[in-house]
Amino acid sequence: MKGLYSLVRGYLVFKSQKNADTISGALVFFVVLGLVPTVYFLGLLLSFFGLKLQAHNGALFVELLPLFDFLTESATRLKAGGNAFLVFIAIYSSSSAFFHLKVAGEMLYNHKPKNKIYIKISSILANVTMSFLFATVIALVGLAFSLFSRFLGALTTPLLIVTYGFIYFLFALLLNLYACPYKITVKEVYLGALYTTILSVIETLIFIFYVRNFARFNEIYGAISTLVIFLSWAFLIMKTLVGGITLNVYRLGSIKRRKGLFRS
């Protein structure tokens, strides 16, 4: 028990030294800047599968539905006048969060910064790849459950939750791999992805409970309450992502120190 306490304490101190919360806040800013282009690009990809980007009828976080509707309407207006140039601009703009995640990874791993042009190109490729994977996976999952839901019965909803949880873990794993500035294996980053997935679910459920039972966002913020709720939630989620990456850095550093290969 004492060993576990020392491990957790050491990680929290290390996380504080790496300014993980500050990095999380900065990343949320760039995520927000790329929201409409991201929704537009995802909607475009899903249209290839004959699908539309829309909220699930039983959406867990109903407080964010007004913001989701606004984003999809804005993306639809963009699509109406869409052309190849607009698609490129959408991809470029929505890649901003990936660019800064890569830069954050260099800071967290204490790695020599790479050329900014290289990082921008890699962020665009990562954005296109992950967006395409996301659209493909969502389409396949939707198709599978539409075909087999009648046979699954009451198990449909629990299986859907588990499936989306596993998908979230896989994408967290990809982001952990992407953030690392050098070649790394899944074995070395899976713990950070698991940390991100578990804490994201727990913090989301707690935050939803808080918003619905204690917070008074509508009374305080009025018309912008939905945006405030989203920013607060996005910061919590980003903290789990950066926290997971930081956990990988701390774990790898601890392993190297035990082998006498690393000094901090």
Using only C-alpha atoms, what is the Rg of the chain?
20
DSSP-assigned letter for residue 1: -
Q: Which residues lie closer than 8 Å to 78 by C-beta, 6 or more apart?
A: 36, 40, 86, 90
Residue 263 confidence (pLDDT) above 50 = no
Q: Is the dihedral of CA 112, 114, 120, 124 positive or negative?
A: negative
Burial of 193 (0-12, 13-18, 19+ CB in 10 A): buried
Least-confidence region, from 111-120, 149-158, 226-235: 149-158
**Is residue 13 assigned to a domain?**
no
pLDDT attached to residue 5: 75
pLDDT attached to residue 220: 76
CA distance 262 to 40: 44
Q: Please give the share of the chain, as a percent, with pLDDT higher than 90.
A: 30
List the structure tokens of 164: 């989306």
CA distance 122 to 116: 10
pLDDT attached to residue 248: 93
- Section 200-215 average pLDDT: 85
CA distance 81 to 183: 41
Q: Which residues lie closer than 8 Å to 101 by C-beta, 6 or more apart?
A: 27, 123, 175, 178, 179
Q: Is the dihedral of CA 114, 118, 124, 125 positive or negative?
A: negative
Residue 217 confidence (pLDDT) above 90 = no
- Section 67-95 average pLDDT: 70
Residue 23 confidence (pLDDT) above 90 = yes
Q: Which residues lie closer than 8 Å to 262 by C-beta, 6 or more apart?
A: 253, 256
Residue 58 and residue 77 in contact, taking contact as beta carbons nearer than 8 Å = no
- Section 95-102 average pLDDT: 92
Q: Which residues lie closer than 8 Å to 15 by C-beta, 6 or more apart?
A: 243, 246, 247, 250
> Based on the structure, what is the number of domains in the chain?
1
pLDDT attached to residue 129: 92
Q: What is the pLDDT of residues 168-182, one digit of tens each?
A: 999 999 999 999 998
**Is residue 10 assigned to a domain?**
no
Q: Which residues lie closer than 8 Å to 43 by C-beta, 6 or more apart?
A: 52, 53, 72, 75, 76, 79
Pairwise pLDDT comparison (130 vs 86), residue with the higher score = 130
Residue 236 and residue 242 in contact, taking contact as beta carbons nearer than 8 Å = no
List the structure tokens of 203: 């913090």
List the structure tokens of 104: 């954050």
- Section 12-25 average pLDDT: 90
Residue 99 confidence (pLDDT) above 90 = yes
pLDDT attached to residue 71: 66
Q: Please give the share of the chain, as a percent, with pLDDT higher than 70.
A: 80
**Is residue 264 assigned to a domain?**
no
Q: Which domain holds residue 139?
A: 23-258
Q: What is the largest CA-CA distance in the chain?
A: 62
**Is residue 15 assigned to a domain?**
no
pLDDT attached to residue 168: 92
